[in-house]
Amino acid sequence: MNAQRIEHAMTDKGYVPLYATGTVPQPWANYTASDHAVWRTLFERQRALLVGRACETFLQAQDAMGMGAEAIPRFDDLSEQLRRVTGWELVGVEGLLPELDFFQHLSARRFPVTWWIRRPEQIDYIAEPDLFHDLFGHVPLLLNPVFADYMQAYGAGGVRAHGLGSEALANLTRLYWYTVEFGLIREHGELRIYGAGILSSAGESHHCLESSAPNRIGFDLSRLMRTRYRIDSYQKTYFVIDDFEQLFNATQQDFAPIYQVLQQADAVPAGDVLDSDLVLQRGSGEGWISDGDV
């Protein structure tokens, strides 16, 4: 693989390289016993933790796809199933892509998945999104028709925002952050996880539901787009949707007028609660670091 790193991008774990390469076939035959063992360890641990914490849609989709602990799944197998149900497919990549490339993939119903998995000594911490985060965390919900449509609409919105400039992009990135990566959903009257950043993190799976520190606030599109976030710690605020329809419906409008309004408004610090918020739980703020919001 001749991966070419072109710049860096911010993620929940700090700055990581961006890759200029296009898509790459998954080198499945080259995975070592150690690679499969890392997948197995992470899968078993996280799956056990997520029963009763992740939304049922996610757990059922993982089962329906036959995603199990035994071995690293093959992208081709998963793509075949996704194509049949929601028209999505997976494409292998070296790592994070430049924004426009990423948006273009999503808008064409292609989800980029990092082909490599972390090393055994990185089980509990890795800076870059790897196969486990992308595949375990993101891919199952692409089997859900409404969420799948949301992801495509997000990609199309990203392509448009890219043409509008960096402020519009920052607004849109926050939407992804607080939904696709760190979103919570109400299910049977309880909070459940659907964000991949949480689903692939043992610590945050506990924190987002059980800690009294973070705020839990009802979903509001322009509020999310104004809200700064944390890349070096658990989130100070989680936004809660009622269902995936709410998420998809919010994308059925032109974001350009919203970006214009938001340009006049200050961004909201990650831990602030506004008078206009639908507050489900106000966080105690315990353990928060006062600066460093992105």
The residues binding Fe ion (CB under 5 A) are 196
In the complex, minimum distance from the CB of residue 84 to Fe ion, in angstroms, rounded to a whole number: 24
CB nearer to Fe ion: give 113 or 191. 113
CB nearer to Fe ion: give 161 or 180. 180
In the complex, minimum distance from the CB of residue 181 to Fe ion, in angstroms, rounded to a whole number: 5
What is the rounded distance in angstroms from the CA atom of residue 229 to the CA atom of residue 160?
A: 23
Question: What's the gap between Cα 43 and its chain centre?
Answer: 17
In the complex, minimum distance from the CB of residue 197 to Fe ion, in angstroms, rounded to a whole number: 6
CB nearer to Fe ion: give 130 or 262. 130
Of 75, 99, 61, nearest to 244 by C-alpha is 61
CB nearer to Fe ion: give 12 or 35. 12
In the complex, minimum distance from the CB of residue 29 to Fe ion, in angstroms, rounded to a whole number: 26
Q: Give me Rg for the CA atoms of the chain.
A: 18
Helices first, then strands: H and E counts in the chain = 12, 9
